[in-house]
Amino acid sequence: MGEATSARVARILREKGFDAYVMVGGLKSWRKAGLPTERVPESDVELLPSFN
Amino acid sequence: MTDIAGFIAKYGYQSLFLCLFLEAIGLPIPGAVALLAAGAAVAGGAMRLVIALPVALLATLVADTLLFLAGRYSGWSLLAVLCGLSLSPEGCIVRSAKWFYQRGRLALLFAKFIPGVNTMAPPLAGSMKMRPGQFLRLDMTGALAYILSYGAVGFLFRDIFRALAGGLQAFSRTAEWLIGAGVVAYIAYRIWLYGKHRPDRLVPRVPVSEVAARLKEQPLRPLVIADVRSHGYYDPGAQRAQGSIRLEPNNLDQALPSLPQNAPIYLYCT
């Protein structure tokens, strides 16, 4: 279930001629494999409204 | 004879609780129908208002509070799960958040009357960090309005509902039938969804270890790691795989020109 978005986007990219793959297990597996993460840059963060 | 009546009465309240609880957590159970039947049962003397009303209110508040807390502590990921049932999960999150924000706190008061919104409102209030006391007050008012208005209609038009349902036994049977029909409809929907996504499952899948091995060959053989999560970008301080780029699934067409045609693109979500 968690890979639904990756799979959908990968399918669309493949249809447009890109060499796209789904990375199995997503970010969870990436972390489990001990690979490094980074903080999402401020410019990419999309703040949704909040009441407080 | 009184034993049977007592058992049926008890079972009736349990069905009422179950219907409203399941509806509130997002299963396709028409809680309004259960309330109409309960109102008719109260009018006919088969159910007592002093028990039926608290049962209905408790069922709704327990479910809503669970969703509120889940929203509060999971940031936007719970919303992503709830939105996973919709046709475009990412758009669903942003749309719901904006809808809820524009209508402000009053949205909680009438959310119950709108299918779909009823389940989304409590976790949204949680994700948007509404204060718990305020949430409970607004949610309880909204739940009371919902329960009383449908219950009153059932109460006033009890003869119609009695003709339809024929008392409490039929109410329990109706409730069971509704739950059953809801579950069947849900399973059918999931099967349909499964079939719809079939082409997506033919996409090649690569384990993380292989991507890591390819990373070591950089920059000789370039590759792209793309993050297709949306909700990962709503919480400040969120993390992502080092060196990855953001690929917003809702804006694919815009992003396409910047993607390389001759390097592998590895996509990941949560």
Same domain for B238 and B260: yes
Which tens digits make up the pLDDT trace of B122-138? 988 888 888 899 999 99
Range 16-45 of A in CB contact (< 8 A) with B: 16-30, 32-33, 35-40, 42, 44-45
* pTM of the shown model: 0.58
- The number of folded domains in chain A is 1
Same domain for B262 and B241: yes
Flag whether residue B219 sits within 8 Å of chain A, measured between CB atoms.
no
Distance in Å, alpha carbon of A44 to nearest chain B alpha carbon: 7
Domain extent at residue A15: 1-33
Nearest-CA neighbor of B198 among A14, A8, A26, A13?
A: A8
Same domain for B236 and B176: no
Q: Is residue A50 included in any domain, yes or no?
A: no
Give the C-alpha separation, B119 to B64, whole Å.
Answer: 8
Strands of B224-227's sheet in order across: B205-206, A19-23, B264-268, B224-227, B245-246
Same domain for B166 and B108: yes
The mean pLDDT of B74-99, rounded to a whole number, is 71
Q: Is residue A49 included in any domain, yes or no?
A: no
Which tens digits make up the pLDDT trace of A1-52? 467 888 889 999 999 999 999 999 888 899 999 999 988 877 777 666 666 5
Same domain for B151 and B240: no
Residue B264: phi and psi, rounded to 5, are -65, 145
The alpha carbon of residue B121 and the mean position of all alpha carbons in its chain are separated, in whole angstroms, by 9
Domain extent at residue B226: 204-268
Same domain for B191 and B209: no
- Write down the ipTM of this complex: 0.88
Residue B28 pLDDT greater than 80, yes or no: no
Same domain for B99 and B8: yes
From chain A, the residues in CB contact with B209 under 8 A are: 33
Same domain for B225 and B187: no
Nearest-CA neighbor of B154 among B255, B30, B14, B6?
A: B30
Residue B5 pLDDT greater than 70, yes or no: no
Range 224-253 of B in CB contact (< 8 A) with A: 225-229, 232-243, 246-247, 249, 252
Confidence of residue B74 (pLDDT cuts 50, 70, 90): confident
Q: Is residue A18 included in any domain, yes or no?
A: yes
State whether A37 and B256 contact (CB < 8 Å): no
Same domain for B217 and B183: no
Range 99-128 of B in CB contact (< 8 A) with A: 101, 105, 125, 127-128
End position of a domain, from candidates B180, B198, B216: B198
Flag whether residue B199 sits within 8 Å of chain A, measured between CB atoms.
yes
Same domain for B178 and B57: yes
Same domain for B216 and B184: no
Distance in Å, alpha carbon of B220 to nearest chain A alpha carbon: 17
Same domain for B141 and B116: yes
- The number of folded domains in chain B is 2
